[in-house]
Structures are given as structure tokens and as C-alpha cells.
Amino acid sequence: MDATERHLRLLTETTAAVNSTLDLEEVLHLIATRVAEALHADACFVYLYDDRTDELVLRATYGTSVDEMTRRPRLRPGEGITGVAAAERTPVMIPAQAHLDPRFKHFPNLPESQYASILAVPILVHGEKLAGALNVRTRAAREYDAAEIGLVEAIADQVAQTIVHAQLYAQAQRRVAELEALARISEAVSESLYLEESLEAIVKTTMDAVSATGAALVLEDGRIAWPEGRAGSHAVRTPLRWRGRQIGELVADRDAPFSDDDRALLEAIAHHAAVALEHGRAVMRGVLAQEIHHRVKNNLQTVASLLRLQSRAEDVDPREALEHSVNRILAIAAVHEVLTEQREEDVELADLLDRLRAMLVQGLGAGRDVSASLETVSLAGQRATALALVFSELLQNALEHGAGGVRIELAQRNGEVVLAIADEGPGPREPGAGTGLSIVRALVRDELRGTFDLRSDGGTLAEVVFPA
């Protein structure tokens, strides 16, 4: 097997291995391992570019390790031999005594001076945008030929997009973890009128979110409101701010260092913890108890659940999915708008549904004849939220997929509430399919404790019946 064929095989195998996972850390360690093996090098270092700080951050190594990695080695483009390769978008090779080169940068926790040669190559997306850089090292002097340099460049080009995808995947995973942590805080705070219970939930959620050994909330007067667990070798103190004023700190401890992502998550938790803390104090004072009951409740978790359900749907147009999600959130907002205006625990459904009807017709049903017969029916806030989501889904389906005029009826009969939406279209081919109808069935069953019927007979009729 000649060198060209061998290099092509190594390139193919490396690309296939790297593309086999979306886990960023695994991708980077695969790159370090495969590149070193392909060139029979003693070590390989992979850096990722952080455009927020304009730095190359060491993320993976092969053949050596970073001693006492309290801080990852960082380079600015143009700094160090690898930084020069990144800044100039071209490979840099030094066959021997690389540590004596004036561009060499020494890190006390990275034993690079034991290596004689270095080949540094930038990792570029579409040949332009900097995604990172890598270098291979050998203990003995070594000069790389053009074919070997080309092989490393080809590998870097092939894995650049994979790195971007892995970064996006990692960001998405962090967002889900953040949303779930915040939802747990919101749920705990909304379910309890006692400040101590809210503080306990915030601290325990913090520990779970960043795998902390201990956590505590320190209030502005220096009092430790809720300590949990034990101290670790590393601690992060994140300020709690409310309307520009610091009202305390969220302290987290653990034995391993906190990453930038951990700190970002702690900042998000601290922000919502500050809101929860102030709301909890207000409840204890009795000033905002009514509004907390109506506004916080489980809405953040509801929105997270709806978005997660939408994300699992297959063969859905992204723009349509986003519009549907927006309409669901606006439906929840409409309930709170009515609650705020009426300052009552119950929602008057005729007013609520009429607002939603106007909003959806303006956005989706321009030119359609939409009539409504809405009787006076009141419903508690939580059930009104469920009905608002059901109504939005059904009217949205009628406007998007139905035909002719649309008729809406809300009535109370024999102790039951009946919501019916009819149009002149043939109805869905598969009545049970679709994310929207899945949401409707779940809400009617679990929140309204009622029944849902969708039938086609000279038109389409969707009917929801539940106890008043």
C-alpha cells in the first residue's frame, strides 16, 4: 500500500470515527487519538476557539496530560506556535528544538518542552472561520513532508463541521438542563407559600444541576439562609440581583473545578433564584400572594414540556412548529392577562376565547368567516390555561387545514362545559395523529378530566366536554 492510499484510508477512518458521535469531549479525544496514530506521533493537542474571549482553549490531549488542570491552557490567535497557525490560517512546522523557537509559549501545567518537533494546523470551517487548532509532537526531531502535512490539513477540514455540530449539540443539552432546573425551581416556589421551602428547593436544584458537593444561599445581611452538603476544593459565589440591587449570593462547592458552562448555568439559576426569593418574601408579607398564585404556578414547566414535545415530532416544518409554539405561549399569556385585569381566581371563558379567536384569525384566518356563540362560563385559572391551549390547537387546525366557515360554540349543559369548533373541511386523514391533537387529548384527559371527540360528517367537528 503506497503512502497516498494509506493516507486516504487514514483520512476516511478518522472522519468516520469522529462523525460517529455528537458528544463534544468524545469528538475531541477521538481527533487527538486518530491524528497522533495516523502520523505515528508521540502526542497531539486539540484546541477549540472561543469567540467570546477570542482564545484557543486546550480541550483534548493524546500522549500526555495536563497536570493539575485548575485552568485550561489558553492561547490567543497569534500567540504561541499553535496560535500563529490559527491566526495565519496555515500550518506551522518546526522539525527540532521547538521549545527554543521565540514563538513558543510555555505552560507550567503542560509538559511540552520534552518534545522536539511540532506541526500545528488550524481547524477551519469552510476554509475560513476559525473553529480551533491542533498540533502533533514527537520527542525525536522530525520533519513532516508535504503529504503528511496535507493529511493533517484534510483531517482538520473534515472534522471542522463535526466540531461545530458537536458544539451546537452540547449547547442544546445545556439549555435543556438549564430549562429543567429553572422549571423545578419555579414549580417548587409556586407550590409553596413558605420561603424556607422555596430556598431549600433552590439549593437542592443547584446541587443537582452542577453536581455540587454543597450549596447555600447567603442573603444580603450575611445570614446563610439554607446550607446543604459539604464544602469542596472549589467554590463559586454567584450574586443574586433584583432590579439592579444585589440581594444575596448563591454559593456552590465541589471537588472538581467549575467550567465556564457550569458558571453560566449558575448565573441563570441565580437570576431566577433572585426572582423566586423576592416573590417568596412578598408572599410572606402577603403583598403578592394572589398574583403569585395566578402567575407563577407551573407555566415555565408547561412551556418546557410543550417545546420538548414539539421537538420530538418528525417531518414538521420548522417555521410552522415555531408558530404553533408561539401561539401556545400566547394562549397561556392571555389567561394571565385576563386574571390580571379581573383580579379574580376564576377566568371568564367567553372573554378569554374571544381574545384568542381574534389573535388566531388575524394571523391565520384572514378572509375566513369565523363566527362564535360564547355563553358565560367561569373556570379556575389552571383549568382555564388548559382550555386556552386546547382551544388554540383546535382553532388553529380549523384555520390551517379546514375549509369554509368556522363556527365556535361554548355552552354549559347539565353541569358540563361543551366547547365545539366546526368547519366545512374533510378533517384529518388520521384523526389521532399530529403533535397538536396529542396535546389536546392529554390536556382534556389530565387537566380538564373530560372527553375529546373529532369526527367528520359533511364537515369536521371537534368537541370537548368536561365537568364544570
Structural domain contains residue 184: no
Whether 232 and 244 share a structural domain? yes
With respect to residue 334, please indicate whether it lies within any of the assigned structural domains. Answer: yes
Point out the domain boundary residue: 243, 269, 296.
Answer: 296
* Whether the predicted pLDDT of 112 surpasses 50: yes
Mean pLDDT over residues 65-79, rounded? Answer: 73
234 contacts 256 by C-beta, under 8 angstroms: yes
Answer yes or no: do 38 and 73 share one domain. Answer: yes
Q: What distance lies between CA 118 and its chain's CA centroid?
A: 38
| 349 pLDDT more than 60 | yes
Specify if 419 maps to a domain.
yes
Q: What is the DSSP letter of 360?
A: H
Does residue 201 sit in the same domain as residue 308?
Answer: no
At 92, is the pLDDT very low, low, confident or very high (cuts 50, 70, 90)?
Answer: very high
CB within 8 Å of 445: residues ≥ 6 apart: 452
Residue 212 sits in a domain whose CATH number is: 3.30.450.40
| Among the ranges given (88-97, 298-307, 338-347, 351-360), the one the predictor scored with the smallest mean pLDDT | 298-307
Surface-to-core class of residue 2, CB atoms within 10 Å of its CB (0-12 exposed, 13-18 middle, 19+ buried): exposed
In whole angstroms, what is the distance from residue 427 CA to residue 448 CA?
24
In tens, the pLDDT along 367-389 reads: 778 888 888 888 876 788 788 88
- Residue 324 domain boundaries: 300-467
Q: What is the pLDDT of residue 104?
A: 87
Q: Are 24 and 149 within one domain?
A: yes
Asked if the structure places residue 316 within a domain, the reply is yes
Asked if residue 117 and residue 50 are part of one domain, the reply reads: yes
Q: Is residue 421 part of a domain?
A: yes
CA dist 435 and 392 (Å) reads 13
What mean pLDDT, rounded, does the chain reach?
A: 78
Quick one: 233 and 276 in the same domain? yes
The separation between the first and the last C-alpha atoms of the chain, rounded to the nearest angstrom, is 80
Number of domains in the chain: 3
367/393 same-domain check: yes
Whether 67 is in a domain gets the answer yes
Does position 345 have pLDDT exceeding 80, yes or no? no
Classify 286 in phi/psi space as left (phi over 0), alpha (psi -120 to 50) or beta: left
CB contact at 8 A, 369 and 405: yes
Indicate if 307 and 445 belong to the same structural domain: yes
Confidence (pLDDT) at 296:
47
C-alpha cell at 27: 469528538
List, for residues 138-188, the tens digit of each pLDDT value. Answer: 999 999 888 888 888 888 887 777 777 777 777 777 777 777 777 776 676
> Considering 247, 274, 296, which residue would you say is the last residue of a domain?
296
371 falls within a domain: yes
Residue 383, C-beta contacts closer than 8 angstroms, at least 6 positions apart: 447, 448
C-alpha 197/C-alpha 189 separation (Å) is: 8
288 and 361 in a single domain? The answer is: no
| 403 sits in which H/E element | none
Residue 395 resides in a domain: yes
CATH of the domain at 430: 3.30.565.10
Last residue of a domain, one of 264, 296, 328: 296
Whether residue 324 is found in the same domain as residue 450: yes
Are 235 and 304 in the same domain? no
Residues 311 and 246 in one domain: no
